[in-house]
Amino acid sequence: MLDEDRIYSGASPQEVAADLAPLVDFHEEGVPLDVLDGWLQTRLVPHLMRYDRPAFQSMFNAFLEEGAALGAFLALAYNQGVTNWQVSPGGAMLEELCCQALCRLFGLAPTADATFMLAGTYANQQAVYMALHRQAERAGFDLAREGLSGFQDPGRLAVVTSRDAHFSLKHAVRTLGLGERCLVAVGVDERRRMDVADLEDRLEALSRSRDVFCVVATAGTTSTGSVDPLQPIAALCQASGAWFHVDGAYGLAYSLVPGWKPLFAGMELADSVSWDPHKQFRVAIPSSVLFARRKEDFRRMALFADYFNREGDIEPNPGLKSIPSTRPLAALPLVTSLRHQGLEGVRTALRAPLVAVRNLAGYIQDEPELALVHPPDTGILCFRVTPPGVPEARLDVLQEAIYARIMQDGTRAVSMTRLDGKVVLRLVAISPAVTASALMETVAAARTVAWEILEEV
C-alpha cells in the first residue's frame, strides 16, 4: 500500500514493470477475486497517482467528484453504447439533452449543438476536418467523396495557430493528410497569449500564397494556461473567411467563474469549441465535448448504414455527429455532478485553484531566488529557481535536476516545460484541495532541492 506521505511510489519504470508483471501473466486457470484484489492493492495502487492530494500539482487530472462518481458507477454497470437510439434510448437521449444544456450554460447561440468525444485531441481533429470540409464546399466539391485531391493545390492549405498551441493540432493535420507543413505558427505576447498584431500580419502575408481555412485560438494553453484574445481573433477570421476554432479543452470551464469570464469574450463567435469536462469538472474519463455554433455543421460528419444510423431515422443518434460508433455514456457523470453540486458549487470549486495560483504569483514576485515566467491567466503557473551566482547557462540544467529529484521523492508532483528556449518548472492547480499554501510549500521544496543540488556539485 502507498505510504500516506506519498502521492505515488516514486519507483523507476523498471521497478513498476516488475511489480505489474504478475498481473499480465495470463493462465488457463482463473484467480479468486479476493486474491486478485490483493494483488491490485499491493502491486498496482502504489504506482497510481493520487490526484486528490494537495501536493499533486503537475497535470490536469482529478479524482471523481461525488456526484460524478454516482453517474460513473451507473454508466459502468450498464455499459451503454450511446451513439445510437437502438443501442441505448436513454443514453442517446440523455446525451442529446445534455449537449443542448451545455450550449446554454456556456452562452452559445441558439443554433449551437455539441457532441461528446473520447478526447480533446479528437475534438480538435474533428474541428479541423469540419473546417476543411467547408473549404472544399467553397471550392465546389465534397471532401468526403473526393478527399484532398479535390483541391487544385492542396499544398496551399494552411491552419494558423499560436506557437503555444497544443500538439494535438499536429496530430490533426497529420491524420487528415495535410502534413505538419500545413501549420503556421504566430507569436505570443508577454502574457503568452496569441499576438493579434502578428496574426493580422501573417494572415495578410499568407493571403498571397496560401489558403488559410482555419485559425485555432487556445482558451487555456497547456503550458501556461493563457487565454488568447478571442474577440479580435474572431474579427480577423470573419474578415478573412477562415473557420475559427477555440481549443478550450483546459480553460473553457473557467468562463463560468465571474471574475474570469471577461477573458473568454468572443468565444461565442467561434465556429467550434473543444472542452474536456474530465479536467476541472472532475468527471470520469473519457469526457470531451465539441461544440459547433451551427448545428448543421455536424452534418459533415454523418455516415449512414442499413442496420445502424439509417438516413431518415427520427430518433436521436448522437453517433452521426462524431466518429466513434461505440463510446461510453460520458454525459451521465457530468449530469449527475452538475445536479449534485449545483452551479454555485461548481463555480466555487473552479474559483479556488484560480485564486490560489494568483496568490502564488504574488508570492513569487517578491522572492529574490525565484523568477515568475508569466502572469497567470488561469490555474497554471511557470517559474524558475534562480539562486544567486548561478550563471544563466546552468539554470536549465538546474530546473531539470529539481524536477527529477522532486518526482523521484514521490511526496509531490510537479511538471516541467520549455518556454522561449528556457526550461521552467510548471505548477497546475485543478483540485480545490490545491491551496495557495500547498503551492507555496512546493515552491519552497523546489528552492531547498536547488540548494542541495548546488552543494553536491
Q: What is the C-alpha separation between 116 and 103, in angstroms, rounded?
A: 12
The share of the chain scoring above pLDDT 70, in percent, equals 99
Residue 230 has pLDDT above 90, yes or no: yes
**Whether the predicted pLDDT of 2 surpasses 70:** no
Class of the CATH domain delimited by 80-327: alpha beta
Q: What is the pTM of this model?
A: 0.94
Q: Which residue has the higher pLDDT, 316 or 243?
A: 243
Domain boundaries, the chain: 80-327, 338-456
Contact 210, 157 (CB under 8 A): yes
The confidence band for 214, taking pLDDT boundaries of 50, 70 and 90, is: very high
pLDDT at 406 over 70: yes
Average pLDDT over residues 285-312: 90
> Could you tell me the pLDDT band of residue 244, with boundaries at 50, 70 and 90?
very high
Percentage of the chain exceeding pLDDT 90: 92
pLDDT in tens, 78-109: 999 999 898 999 999 999 999 999 999 999 99
Is residue 345 over pLDDT 90?
Answer: yes
Arithmetic mean of pLDDT, 16-41: 96
pLDDT at 207: 93
Query: For residue 3, what pLDDT is reported?
Result: 62
> What is the rounded (10 degree) CA torsion for 259, 188, 415, 286?
70
Rounded to a whole number of angstroms, the distance between the first and last alpha carbons of the chain is 35
CA angle 355, 360, 361 (to 5 degrees): 100
Rounded Cα distance, 143 and 268, in Å: 27
- CATH architecture type of domain 338-456: Alpha-Beta Complex (3.90)
351 closest CA partner among 289, 436, 437: 436
pLDDT at residue 296 in the model: 96
Q: What are phi and psi of 67, to 5 degrees?
A: -65, -40
Q: For residue 162, what are the β-bridge partners?
A: 186
Q: Per-residue pLDDT averaged across 302-331, rounded?
A: 87
| Mean pLDDT over the full length of the chain | 95
Buried b (16+ CB within 10 A) or exposed e, 246-280: bbbbbbbbbbbbeebeebbebbbbbbbbbbbbbbb
Q: How many CB atoms lie within 10 A of CB 455?
A: 7
d(CA 90, CA 46): 38
Query: What confidence tens digit (pLDDT) does each residue in 302-316 have?
Result: 888 878 888 888 888
